C-alpha cells in the first residue's frame, strides 16, 4: 500500500522588526550586521509578508513543517525569544522540525542559551531516539513522519565578519554516513534538512559550505531521496547523480527562497515556501511533487508560483 505525506518547507525568515539591541552584545561582527540590518535587511524582510506566507502554509494543513535556518538576524537574546514565540505559533515540536542557519549561530554570546531555546524542535522523536548521537552531540537527529525519515544536519558555525560560510564537520559527517544506510534498510524515504546548500559551487566561497565536497561524497555513496536547504534566498532545483558503482537513484536537491521578503532585492523573489507531497509507492519508490507558493505583490496574496514532479 502506498503512503503519502505533505511536508511544508520554509526558510530564512529573518524575523523582523528587531528591537532591544543592548550595547553589551555588539561585538565587531554584530555591529556590522546591525548596520546592514538598518540599511537594507529591515526594508527587505517584513513580518507582514511572513504572516501571509505562514497563514497560507497552515491553511494547507501539512503533515509536518521543516524550517531550515536563519530564523533571526544577529543572534541576540531578544531575537531568540521572538523566534521561540514564532515557532510556537506555527506548530508544536512534534509538528515542526528546525535546523539552525548561520544567522542563528552568528557570533559569541556569553551566558545565553542561544539556539538551545529551540531544542525541542531540534531533537529526535521517540522513534528516532535509537539513532541519536552520543551526548553532548545533538546532530544529526532523526524524526519519522509516516514513510519519511527527516534527518536534521547542522551546518551553522560562528564565522568572522563578512563571512557566512558553514561546516558540517567530521563528526557529523561520520554519523550521517552510518545513519543513511540504516534508514534505507528500514525502507524509509530519507529527507536531509540542512541550511547551507550541500554541493560544491552552490554558493560563493565566503557563503559556501566548507566541507561540501566531503558531504556530497557521503550522499553519493549512501544516498538520500531528497535534500532540502535554504541560505541562498532563491528557489533552486538540482539533481545530484550518485556514484555509478553504488547504483541507486539520483538525489533531488531543493532550495527554497526566503519566506519573508516583501520588497524585491537583487535576484530574491518575494516571500515563498514549498509544499512537498511525498509518496512511498507500493514498490518502495519515492514519488515527490513540489508546489511553490509565494507572495503576489499586486494582490498582496499568496498564489501558486510553480508545480513540478521531482521524482
Residue pLDDT, tens place only, 194-233 = 999 999 999 999 999 999 999 999 999 999 999 999 999 9
The 64-67 sheet, strands edge to edge:
96-98, 64-67, 3-10, 272-280, 286-296, 301-309
Predicted confidence pLDDT, tens digits, the chain (311 residues): 689 999 999 999 999 877 767 666 677 788 888 888 888 889 999 999 999 999 999 999 999 999 999 999 999 999 999 999 999 999 999 999 999 999 999 987 778 899 999 999 999 999 999 998 876 779 999 999 999 999 999 999 999 999 999 999 999 999 999 999 999 999 999 999 999 999 999 999 999 999 999 999 999 999 999 999 999 999 999 999 876 656 668 999 999 999 999 998 889 999 999 999 999 999 989 999 999 999 998 999 999 999 999 99
Alpha carbons 125 and 201: distance in angstroms, whole number:
33
Q: What does pTM read for this prediction?
A: 0.96
The H-or-E segment that residue 277 falls in is strand 272-280
3-class DSSP assignment, residue 253? strand
Alpha carbons 210 and 270: distance in angstroms, whole number:
28
Structural domain containing residue 20: 3-309
Q: How many domains does the chain have?
A: 1
The tens digit of pLDDT for each residue in 83-101 reads 999 999 999 999 999 999 9
Q: What is the CATH number of the domain that holds 86?
A: 3.60.21.10
pLDDT value of residue 234:
98
**Residues 6+ positions from 93 with CB-CB distance below 8 Å:** 120, 121
Amino acid at each position: 500500500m502506498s503512503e503519502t505525506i505533505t511536508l511544508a518547507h520554509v526558510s530564512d525568515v529573518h524575523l523582523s522588526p528587531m528591537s532591544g539591541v543592548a550595547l553589551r552584545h555588539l561585538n565587531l561582527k554584530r555591529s556590522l550586521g546591525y548596520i546592514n540590518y538598518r540599511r537594507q535587511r529591515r526594508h527587505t524582510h517584513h513580518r507582514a509578508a511572513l504572516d501571509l506566507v505562514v497563514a497560507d502554509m497552515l491553511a494547507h494543513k501539512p503533515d509536518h513543517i521543516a524550517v531550515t535556518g536563519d530564523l533571526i538576524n544577529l543572534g541576540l537574546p531578544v531575537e531568540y525569544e521572538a523566534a521561540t514565540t514564532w515557532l510556537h505559533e506555527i506548530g508544536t515540536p512534534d509538528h515542526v522540525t528546525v535546523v539552525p542557519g548561520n544567522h542563528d549561530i552568528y557570533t559569541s554570546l556569553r551566558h545565553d542559551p542561544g539556539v538551545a531555546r529551540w531544542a525541542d524542535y531540534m531533537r529526535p522523536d521517540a522513534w528516532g531516539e535509537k539513532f541519536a548521537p552520543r551526548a553532548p552531540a545533538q546532530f544529526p537527529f532523526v524524526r519519522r513522519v509516516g514513510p519519511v525519515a527527516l534527518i536534521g544536519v547542522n551546518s551553522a558555525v560562528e564565522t568572522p565578519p563578512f563571512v557566512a560560510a558553514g561546516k558540517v564537520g567530521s563528526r557529523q559527517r561520520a554519523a550521517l554516513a552510518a545513519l543513511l544506510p540504516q534508514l534505507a534498510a528500514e525502507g524509509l524515504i530519507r529527507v536531509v534538512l540542512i541550511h547551507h546548500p550541500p554541493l560544491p559551487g552552490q554558493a560563493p566561497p565566503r557563503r559556501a559550505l566548507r566541507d561540501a565536497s566531503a558531504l556530497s561524497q557521503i550522499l553519493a555513496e549512501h544516498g538520500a531521496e531528497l535534500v532540502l536547504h535554504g541560505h541562498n534566498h532563491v528557489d533552486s532545483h538540482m539533481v545530484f547523480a550518485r556514484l555509478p558503482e553504488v547504483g541507486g537513484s539520483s538525489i533531488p536537491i531543493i532550495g527554497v527562497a526566503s519566506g519573508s521578503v516583501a520588497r524585491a532585492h537583487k535576484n530574491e523573489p518575494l516571500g515563498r515556501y514549498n509544499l512537498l507531497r511525498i509518496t512511498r509507492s507500493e514498490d518502495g519508490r519515492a514519488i515527490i511533487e513540489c508546489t511553490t507558493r509565494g507572495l503576489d505583490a499586486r494582490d498582496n496574496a499568496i498564489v501558486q508560483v510553480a508545480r513540478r514532479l521531482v521524482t
